[in-house]
Amino acid sequence: MFHHAHTELSLIINFLLKHIWNHFGHLLETLEQPWLSNENLQSMCNAVKEKGAPLTNSWGFIDGTVRPMCRPQLHQRAVYNGHKRVHALKFQSIVAANGLIANLFGPVEGRRHDAFLLSESKVLSKMESKLDENGNPFCIYGDPAYPLRRQLICPFKGSRLTQQEQLFNKRMSTNRIAVEWVFGKLLQNFAFVDFKKNLKMLLQPVAMYFKVAAIFTNCHTCIYGSNTSTYFNLSPPDIEDYLMER
């Protein structure tokens, strides 16, 4: 179709991916974006609260994402995820209530625990400046794998929970499903990053494929919206505002 050799096309694509990441990678690495202002975070918190969430200061949801790939010739044990039983790279993502991926950290070895990614990313320290008008911290919500912090709330743990604790977990879990919707959209629109038989860690920039796909997914959400933004009744920023360079 393009009258170029496969090798040449591969070099062109990888060069373009690197160019995109160098110019727009900061959109997934920092929380200091105009659309993540304290005023906008408060609007997200209100939207989550209106969906029955018991928390009043939760603007997004954090989760670890395991991305399977072809078994590498080297370092197989390091990248093997025993829970999923696949060789994989792992990322940590924060999804905002407006449907955008606000932060993406990684990759790390697939065997690593979510708590390890949280510590390495230092994302909670980046959130210390995110305060409401009363000086209280905004927070994100995660699954039981995460520790309890001022900026990070997790479900009540244990087998003997009170009725109120069970209700809290249920209501927050209902809203947390928004994380799965976002990455379902990413894999649907960019299916290549889900084709593990052709994702070869030592031969291809596998992590770059996924991170650029995340940027493209955010761009698609800015233009067309998403199930998450519709669910919380929040509009994402305009594409021009989202892609505003530093």
Task: Please write the tens of the pLDDT for every residue from 104-123.
Answer: 999 999 999 999 999 999 99
Instruction: Give the residue among 109, 127, 125, 138 at the shortest CA–CA distance from 43.
Output: 138
Instruction: Read off the pTM.
Output: 0.94
Residue the block writes with tokens 């709330």: 153
Average pLDDT over residues 82-89: 95
- Supply the pLDDT for residue 226: 95
Average pLDDT over residues 61-76: 94
Classify residue 118 as exposed, middle or buried by CB count within 10 Å of its CB (0-12, 13-18, 19+): buried
Average pLDDT in the chain: 94
- Supply the pLDDT for residue 76: 94
The 10s digit of each residue's pLDDT in 188-243 is: 999 999 999 999 999 999 999 999 999 999 999 999 999 999 999 999 999 999 99
Between 199 and 245, the more confident residue is 199
- Supply the pLDDT for residue 133: 87
Cα–Cα distance, 16 to 37 (Å, whole number): 30
Cα–Cα distance, 170 to 176 (Å, whole number): 10
The 10s digit of each residue's pLDDT in 153-179 is: 999 998 899 999 999 999 999 999 888
The 10s digit of each residue's pLDDT in 30-57 is: 999 999 999 999 999 999 999 999 999 9
Q: What are phi and psi of 96, to 5 degrees?
A: -80, 165
- Supply the pLDDT for residue 246: 52
- Supply the pLDDT for residue 178: 82
Q: How would you classify residue 225: left for phi > 0, otherwise alpha for psi between -120 and 50, otherwise beta?
A: left
With beta carbons less than 8 A apart as the criterion, state whether 172 and 55 touch: yes
Cα–Cα distance, 156 to 153 (Å, whole number): 9
- Supply the pLDDT for residue 224: 96
Instruction: Give the residue among 116, 111, 123, 55 at the shortest CA–CA distance from 81.
Output: 111
Banded pLDDT at 245 (limits 50, 70, 90): low
Neighbours of 67 (CB within 10 A): 24
- Supply the pLDDT for residue 69: 96
Enumerate residues 6+ apart whose C-beta is below 8 A from 167: 54
Cα–Cα distance, 196 to 199 (Å, whole number): 5
